[in-house]
Chains A and B, each alone.
Chain A
């Protein structure tokens, strides 16, 4: 079987999987809705039960779309960071980008009452725009800091440790904010921190979809220079890559993708780091113009899958998405570390 044919089969399989997981994410949930009824609602012929109708149309479909957006966005920003830092363990969560975004959110949410605006967390589009911008800026600032430090330190491990420490510092600052915030704000923030795709309603999607698409398109446009960056910055420059412009665009793309998803869904662990590895491994592909759409597919499937699990474990209740992504993603990271010797081949790891 030719390589191309194999890749086509894998692609077809992934699309099928995406369709299936999207479907099951909508059909399954804490409120049991019979399959036939669910199908009726999905095909447009309204069901007799208006509560079921509302649950599926107003809650589960936006949630599934959000899972797809989040899976794609986090995976692509993980891929960008892994290529850019030439580090297999880089992703928005590990290097503190999510923490930066969280801190942006914390600043807006936790200080909300004190500056006289009585906002209940995650209600009202205007608040969401504010939170989104704060998260985006928080993510971009941390990313710039990491980029700056990456110029100074030669070892990737050092950079990771720096990212982790940065995460702790931000965590500490967050704790201070929490300490002084009102109980309602704090509760909203803690719930947000557990991660949830279900906070997004149709109105939010009109904001979320174009932003994420913009980030993904920027990433896709960068695929050629990203390929060249695999050979290292010096070679990339020698082949005409304007490294400063590319660096800025990568920071913007990761800021948008990582930051905005964090604002809407909370910090979501491990998808960004795990998906690029799974995708590279299954496809045996390095070319970013194929990898970027491919990690979107795999990331969406994984996010939907985690969401399905988070619905099913308890009948009546859901568990936070972050718990599930950690349980699924962390073993992948452990597998990467165990395979370190081989990973060293994938990246120039000192």
Chain B
């Protein structure tokens, strides 16, 4: 492939910190990454492995220790700050409190790299801003005071601002941190649809493995040996890189479900029968209190889930006792005391 068709690529890039009285502290070395237009890339890795450092380097805030990277075929070193602002925008985690500034005003700041020295908005600027507000679903909120919004809305406004900046690449540092789960999904869906509509390249870092697995086209996975594995999320799961990168003593990656679970040693075993969904949730509750479930019907203890007049009944046979329960919580309470 010809390299210049890529929006961004790195060449033997090393990131980390310069130290005064010691050698440079390299976090990630020999990176040869590339980003094409329309790609949603998620940067994953354990804390302290260089996620933020890599992002900071790619935004041009921090200098690479070695190597170079290129945006639209041009080395980062030959970009003026004002030029860079037209090709690359960022969204940060920091919680902003900025006084009585309206949503519209924050978004319109995204136009500053494009307008005159006083920041007066042109007709085109207004068009772009209104369009961006529309797409991000903020039109009805444009007169609201930014500081008074919820974290999720603030994040949306900052993304809208980055969109108004009209760059080919958007970098987001932990865009879902501090948000509740529905809002996380909303934000990631938004990124997904932006990729589709504008053919932008988006790179975001995240802690949210399961959501990242669902959303990203490509994952940059920081491994324990200071490298980055680049692949689709599914490939990374199947080839075991995921497990290697994240497994810790008591936490194991669960390849079937794509999530991490507490790795507890089960001291009891139980067999659960019933309709599929009821069994799944009952098993989850049992797992939590350290009871493993067993597919073998011959296990001595068992739970039979039945439906009676639209209500669920858990029929427990345990150490040759037989008890009925009408909710999982009662069942768990009982088993905990055993």
A residues apposed to B, CB below 8 Å? 221, 223-224, 227-228, 230-232, 234-235, 237-242, 280, 284-287, 289, 344-349
Contacts and interface: CB of A to CB of B under 8 A. Distances in A.
Nearest to B162: A238
Contacts of A286: 98-101, 105
Interface residues of B, number: 32
B275 to A, nearest CB: 51
A308 B165 CA distance: 49
Contacts, number: 84
Given A287-B105, A289-B118, A348-B95, A280 B100 contact: yes
B109 interface: yes
A307 B215 CA distance: 65
Contacts of A287: 105
B96 A232 contact: yes
Contact of B92 (A235, A239, A289): A235
A230 B86 CA distance: 20
A347 B110 CA distance: 20
B95 A230 contact: no
Interface of B: 59, 61, 81-86, 88-90, 92, 94-101, 105-106, 109-110, 112-113, 117-119, 147-148, 165
Contacts of A232: 92, 94, 96
B112 A239 contact: yes
A286 B112 CA distance: 15
Which of A224, A238, A346 is most buried by chain B, counting CB atoms within 10 A of its CB?
Answer: A238
Contacts of A285: 100
Given A224-B112, A228-B109, A284 B85 contact: no
Given A221-B117, A224-B118, A235-B92, A284 B100 contact: yes
A223 B61 contact: no
Contacts of A348: 94-97
Given A234-B90, A280-B100, A345-B147, A239 B119 contact: no
Nearest to B94: A232
A238 B94 contact: no
Given A227-B119, A286-B99, A241 B90 contact: no
Nearest to A243: B81
B31 to A, nearest CB: 21
B82 A234 contact: no
Nearest to B80: A240
